[in-house]
Chains A and B, each alone.
Chain A
Amino acid sequence: MEEQDKLKILKELLFTEEHEFADSIAQKIEDLTKIVHQKKELSHKVDPIIDDKLQQFVLEIPKTLGPTITEALREEIKNSQDAVVEALFPIIGKMIKKYIAHEMKLLSENISRKTKKAFSFKKWFRRTKAKAQGVSDGDLAINDYAKPRLIQMFVIEKNSGILLADYSPLSEDTIDKEMIAGMLTAIKSFVEDAFHGGDQNLELIEYELYTIHIQNFYSYYVAAVISGAYNMMFKEVLEDQIIDFAKNNISSKDLKDSILFTKKLKKYFADEIV
């Protein structure tokens, strides 16, 4: 036996334990390599730890990141108020609409309850009318309050936008009617021009609580500003009244005499329309 072989045998005898330890480490490394490279295996081992950490993170967010996020949002809202309002407007609008509908229902029920308790001929008449129409007398009472009312009436020369006559049952008279007549005509001309409607005319402008009813005649048009619930029934009555007024009261002479025209308009529309 040569020297080298003897040394080898001695090494084996002396380092048996270390060899076994080294082999076991190599095996563990191999197992770990398998786990790391196989997604499923890794996920099986790591997921519970991540879940724990995430849960902890979620619980800690309000304490750690909360103030920073709140501050950042506050700053962002402050810097872009218009964009925020623009984004929230439709949502808030829907919420308000729902809320109002709900409140109106409650109000209607409340009125119905109270009117059932009290008695008067007017109420009896309304109750009978409500029954006949198939609605609650609460709804009918609300309708009475939201009744359409004439606020202002303008008679305007069609092309020039010159105000020929005007009438308002209200005592306050602060608006510049001639400028309104001009602007209404400009808006009307613009709409009629812009959409290539041929001989079609603008007939209605709605804004929040008011409606502008527009009725066209050959050389002039009538614009009636209405508050309250402008409905088909009211529209028909108003249209008939304006046609009657035009037919029976307006001559070509009146179109040239705004004072006389205004007097006639005032006299005719002094009474409530519906």
Chain B
Amino acid sequence: MKLSKKVVLLGHFGVGKTSLFRRFIDNEFSEEYKVTLGVQIKKKTVQLPDGRELSMIIWDTEGHSNSIEDTRKSYLLGSHAFIYVFDVTRPETYRTLNQDLEYLKENYTKVPAKILGNKLDLVNEKEISNHLTSQNIYFDCLASAKTNKNVQDFFSDLAKEITK
């Protein structure tokens, strides 16, 4: 049976959602910053450990400037997972993280939300990890769309989780 899942990328503007999207799907990266307007959608077929194939339909939404509540709600409906992306070099992009997660939990009860800190290539992994923990910021993964560090593993783990 064919499996398809909708995964939505969320987060403040400029955190690198589109870069992660392009890195995961096309294995490409560009330094050029172009603001995403509305949403862009692409698909990647992932091979699951049990031999099944999963079509991950990734929705790359435009970034918000204040809170996740600014994101168009209709883009979030029917999602099978959310990926909340923040920029490890810009504290303003993770300052509202806990409230945003609370909002997602309340409104999309059954949808898992994964947190990813991007732009790891610009900081020291251990230092930023300690800093985030001290700030009470929970994350599932620290990655870099630029160097591809932890990107593919993160999406593979997500694919397994949403098909359990």
Determine, out of A76-84, A105-113, A119-127, A153-161, the stretch whose residues face the partner at the interface. Answer: A153-161
Task: Give the interface SS of chain A, mostly helix, strand, loop or mixed.
Answer: helix
A186 touches B38 (CB 8 A): yes
A234-274 Cβ-contact flags toward B at 8 Å (1 or 0): 00000000000000000000000111000000000000000
Which residues of the other chain, A, contact B103 by a CB distance below 8 angstroms? Answer: none
A139 interface contact, C-beta 8 A: no
A189 to B78, CA, bound (A): 12
Contact partner of B43 among A176, A193, A259, CB < 8 A? Answer: A176
B34-54 Cβ-contact flags toward A at 8 Å (1 or 0): 000011011100000000000
Which residues of the other chain, B, contact A157 by a CB distance below 8 angstroms? Answer: 78
A40 to B72, CA, bound (A): 72
How near does chain A come to B74, taking the closest CB pair, in angstroms?
Answer: 3
A109 to B78, CA, bound (A): 55
How near does chain A come to B124, taking the closest CB pair, in angstroms?
Answer: 38
Which residues of the other chain, A, contact B72 by a CB distance below 8 angstroms? Answer: 189-190, 193
Which residues of the other chain, A, contact B55 by a CB distance below 8 angstroms? Answer: 178
Which residues of the other chain, A, contact B141 by a CB distance below 8 angstroms? Answer: none
B78 touches A162 (CB 8 A): yes
Which residues of the other chain, B, contact A190 by a CB distance below 8 angstroms? Answer: 38-39, 72, 74
B6 touches A161 (CB 8 A): yes
Given contacts A163-B4, A258-B2, contact A193 B74 (CB under 8 A): yes
Which residues of the other chain, A, contact B5 by a CB distance below 8 angstroms? Answer: 162
Look across to chain A and name the residue whose beta carbon is closest to the beta carbon of B79.
A160
A-B contact count (CB 8 A): 60
A146 interface contact, C-beta 8 A: no
A36 to B29, CA, bound (A): 78
How near does chain A come to B21, taking the closest CB pair, in angstroms?
Answer: 13
Q: Size of chain A's interface in residues, with CB distance under 8 A?
A: 20
Given contacts A179-B42, A186-B39, contact A192 B74 (CB under 8 A): yes
A186 touches B57 (CB 8 A): no
A162-177 Cβ-contact flags toward B at 8 Å (1 or 0): 1100000000000010
B74 touches A178 (CB 8 A): no
Look across to chain A and name the residue whose beta carbon is closest to the beta carbon of B61.
A186
A182 interface contact, C-beta 8 A: yes
A49 interface contact, C-beta 8 A: no
A29-53 Cβ-contact flags toward B at 8 Å (1 or 0): 0000000000000000000000000
Which residues of the other chain, B, contact A179 by a CB distance below 8 angstroms? Answer: 41-43, 57
Which residues of the other chain, B, contact A258 by a CB distance below 8 angstroms? Answer: 1-2, 4
Which residues of the other chain, B, contact A186 by a CB distance below 8 angstroms? Answer: 38-39, 41, 59, 75
Most B-side CB within 10 Å, residue of A158, A178, A183? A178
A162 to B79, CA, bound (A): 10
A158 to B78, CA, bound (A): 8
Look across to chain B and name the residue whose beta carbon is closest to the beta carbon of A159.
B78
B78 touches A178 (CB 8 A): no
A189 to B75, CA, bound (A): 7
Given contacts A179-B43, A258-B1, contact A160 B78 (CB under 8 A): yes
B6 touches A178 (CB 8 A): no
A161 to B39, CA, bound (A): 13
Contact partner of B41 among A159, A182, A193, CB < 8 A? Answer: A182
Look across to chain A and name the residue whose beta carbon is closest to the beta carbon of B56.
A178
Which residues of the other chain, A, contact B73 by a CB distance below 8 angstroms? Answer: 193
**16 residue pairs A–B, Cβ–Cβ below 8 Å:** A159-B77, A160-B6, A160-B77, A161-B57, A161-B78, A162-B57, A163-B4, A178-B43, A179-B42, A179-B43, A189-B77, A190-B39, A190-B72, A190-B74, A192-B74, A193-B73
The 4 closest A-B pairs by CB, nearest first: A159-B78, A160-B78, A189-B74, A159-B77
List 16 other contacts, CB 8 Å, given A161-B6, A182-B57, A183-B41: A158-B78, A159-B78, A160-B57, A160-B77, A161-B41, A161-B78, A162-B5, A163-B4, A178-B55, A178-B57, A179-B43, A186-B38, A190-B39, A190-B74, A258-B1, A259-B1
